[in-house]
Structure 1
Amino acid sequence: MCGIVMLSLKGLYRVKQGYRSLMLILLTAYAAPSQSEPRDVNHHIDLPFNQYSALTLLAKWQVSSTELPAFIEMSNDSLFGTDENENSVRDDYEKALLNAYQKPEYVVMGLLSTHVWQRLLQLNVDVNTIKTNKEAISLLVNSMSINHCYYLLQQVDQNLMSPLLVYFNTQQRLDAKKNAEHQLLTIIGNQQHKIEFPTEPCSVFANLIHSEPIQQYIEINNNI
Structure 2
Amino acid sequence: MLIHNLSKENTILNVFMSELRDKTIQTDNMRFRRNIERIGEILAYELSKSLHFKSKIIETPLDTTEINLPENEIVICSILRAGIPLHNGLLNYFDAAENAFISAYRHHKSAPERFEIIVEYLACPSLENKTLILADPMLATGQSMVATYEALKPFGTPKEIHLVSVIGAEEGVAYVSNHFKNENAHLWISTIDKNLNEKGYIVPGLGDAGDLCFGQKLQQ
Bigger radius of gyration: 1
Larger helix fraction of residues: 1
TM-score (norm 1): 0.27
Larger strand fraction of residues: 2
Higher relative CO (Cα under 8 Å, sequence separation at least 6) belongs to 1
TM-score (norm 2): 0.28
